[in-house]
């Protein structure tokens, strides 16, 4: 993101990283040691004290000290005092370049580990050592993809299916996704489908948005094939303005309100569609939802592709086919967005 371009900002970020890395390393020890050596239980429930209260007390002590340090306290004025860009207490002069590098590396690792412990506690509800023991005992059944918790995609509460293909081979489906609906692969990252009413509304919305996305993909590619320009330039060349969009939105909104009212009074009409010849089958419904999801993903890809490369998808395809090792997604990102990691 180029945050370090400003030397003053860069110096402040370096100091903050060192401080937070040190706190994270202490935090990791404080999370693991009580459970490992003193059998105090998980880090998030072993304390007999109110952690929020302890945090407020610590904040009242640390905040004034940090304010004092930031304004030149501890002789950190950048002149006669210690190096302000690398804070620390080292009266014996033991710090060298190697220890500084090791500290920053281990600090970054500890910050990542602390984030992992927090996420792990919410997903599994168990301590890190318990999770480690279960994983070592059953590495294929106790892992990131099958750990217990409130997130449906990681849930072990559901029954493992025998024949239904799931979104991840060997995974588990939550109890509310039984496979009776088209396109059900046991994938529900946030547990949104646990409420039957919400699930029904989401199913209808997915069908509608999938159909719109399939039409949009055709509308985005066909004009480009005909030589009429990229899809994001079509509105300008076609003379579509704000008035046309407003009229279309109003008309579509009225139709959607009418459909919603009908669906509330007649639940059988929720799976929308015009099929006077009764051509719809289970196979076509399954195919529709799959292709709709693919089209939704493709539309997201077109939008990202436009912002990254600035050219049409067909031109990107032609360039990639000509030079597959040169024109790739990695090259496009590195060229357009000079993020530090690239």
CATH of the domain at 120: 1.10.3460.10
**Per the domain annotation, does 152 fall within a domain?**
no
Domain total for the chain?
A: 2
Q: What is the pLDDT of residues 192-246, one digit of tens each?
A: 788 888 888 888 888 889 999 999 999 888 888 888 888 888 766 666 777 777 8
106 and 219 together in one domain:
no
Task: Please tell me whether 211 is known to bind a ligand.
Answer: yes
**Per the domain annotation, does 2 fall within a domain?**
no
Q: What is the pLDDT of residues 140-188, one digit of tens each?
A: 656 665 554 433 333 333 344 445 677 666 667 777 887 788 888 777 7
| Rounded CA separation 114/286 (Å) | 42
Segment 80-102 mean pLDDT? 71
**Per the domain annotation, does 328 fall within a domain?**
no
Q: Quickly list DSSP for 172-207.
A: ---TT--S-STT--S--TT-GGGSHHHHHHHHHHHH
Task: Please tell me whether 288 is known to bind a ligand.
Answer: yes
**Per the domain annotation, does 324 fall within a domain?**
no
Among 154, 114, 306, which Cα is nearest to 224's? 306
Query: Under DSSP, is residue 324 helix (H, G, I), strand (E, B) or coil?
Result: coil
Enter the tokens of residue 96.
């060298």
**Per the domain annotation, does 48 fall within a domain?**
yes
Among 74, 82, 280, which Cα is nearest to 182's? 280
Task: Please tell me whether 135 is known to bind a ligand.
Answer: no
Residue 79 has pLDDT above 60, yes or no: no
113 and 218 together in one domain:
no
205 and 130 together in one domain:
no
Domain holding 247, by residue range, is: 196-302
**Per the domain annotation, does 176 fall within a domain?**
no
Task: Please tell me whether 291 is known to bind a ligand.
Answer: yes
Query: pLDDT at position 149, please?
Result: 41
- The answer to whether 223 touches 231, Cβ cutoff 8 Å, is yes
Query: pLDDT at position 75, please?
Result: 54
Task: Please tell me whether 293 is known to bind a ligand.
Answer: yes
**Per the domain annotation, does 235 fall within a domain?**
yes
**Per the domain annotation, does 312 fall within a domain?**
no
The angle that helices 313-322 and 196-225 make with each other, rounded to 10 degrees, is: 70
Enter the tokens of residue 242.
């704000």
| Rounded CA separation 18/90 (Å) | 15
- The answer to whether 274 touches 301, Cβ cutoff 8 Å, is no
Enter the tokens of residue 117.
């412990």
111 and 230 together in one domain:
no
Task: Please tell me whether 331 is known to bind a ligand.
Answer: no
Task: Please tell me whether 98 is known to bind a ligand.
Answer: no
Backbone dihedral angles phi then psi of residue 213, each to the nearest 5 degrees: -65, -40
Task: Please tell me whether 134 is known to bind a ligand.
Answer: no
Segment 270-276 mean pLDDT? 68
Query: Among the three residues 302, 317, 336, which one is the final residue of a domain in this structure?
Result: 302
132 and 17 together in one domain:
yes
DSSP 48: S
19 and 132 together in one domain:
yes
Task: Please tell me whether 206 is known to bind a ligand.
Answer: yes
205 and 120 together in one domain:
no
- Comparing 294 with 323, which gets the higher pLDDT? 294
129 and 234 together in one domain:
no
Q: Report yes or no on whether pTM surpasses 0.95.
A: no
Segment 18-40 mean pLDDT? 84
38 and 123 together in one domain:
yes
């Amino acid at each position: 993101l180029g945050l370090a371009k400003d030397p003053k900002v860069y110096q402040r970020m370096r100091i903050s990283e060192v401080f937070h890395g040190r706190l994270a390393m202490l935090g990791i020890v404080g999370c693991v040691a009580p459970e490992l050596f003193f059998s105090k239980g998980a880090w998030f429930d072993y304390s007999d004290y109110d952690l929020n209260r302890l945090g407020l007390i610590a904040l009242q002590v640390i905040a004034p000290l940090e304010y004092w340090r930031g304004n030149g306290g501890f002789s950190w004025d950048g002149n006669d005092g210690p190096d302000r860009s690398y804070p620390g207490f080292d009266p014996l002069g033991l710090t060298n370049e190697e220890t500084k590098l090791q500290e920053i590396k281990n600090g970054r690792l500890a910050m990542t580990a602390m984030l992992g412990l927090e996420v792990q506690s919410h997903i599994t509800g168990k301590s890190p050592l318990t999770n480690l023991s279960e994983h070592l005992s059953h590495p294929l059944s106790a892992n990131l993809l099958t750990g217990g918790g409130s997130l449906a995609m990681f849930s072990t509460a559901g029954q493992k299916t025998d024949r239904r293909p799931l979104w991840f081979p060997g995974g588990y489906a939550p109890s509310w996704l039984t496979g009776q609906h088209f396109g059900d692969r046991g994938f529900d990252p946030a547990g949104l489908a646990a409420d039957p009413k919400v699930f029904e509304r989401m199913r209808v919305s997915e069908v509608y948005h999938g159909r719109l996305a399939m039409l949009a993909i055709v509308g985005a590619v066909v004009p480009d094939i005909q030589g009429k320009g990229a899809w994001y330039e079509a509105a300008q060349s076609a003379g579509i303005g704000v008035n046309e969009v407003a009229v279309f939105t109003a008309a579509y909104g009225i139709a959607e309100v009418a459909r919603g009212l009908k669906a509330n009074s007649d639940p059988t009409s929720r799976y929308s569609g015009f099929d006077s010849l009764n051509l719809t089958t289970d196979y076509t419904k399954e195919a529709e939802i799959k292709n709709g999801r693919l089209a939704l993903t493709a539309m997201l890809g077109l939008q990202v592709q436009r912002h990254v490369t600035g050219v049409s998808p067909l031109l990107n395809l032609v360039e990639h086919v000509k030079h597959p090792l040169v024109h790739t997604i990695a090259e496009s990102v590195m060229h357009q967005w000079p993020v530090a990691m690239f």
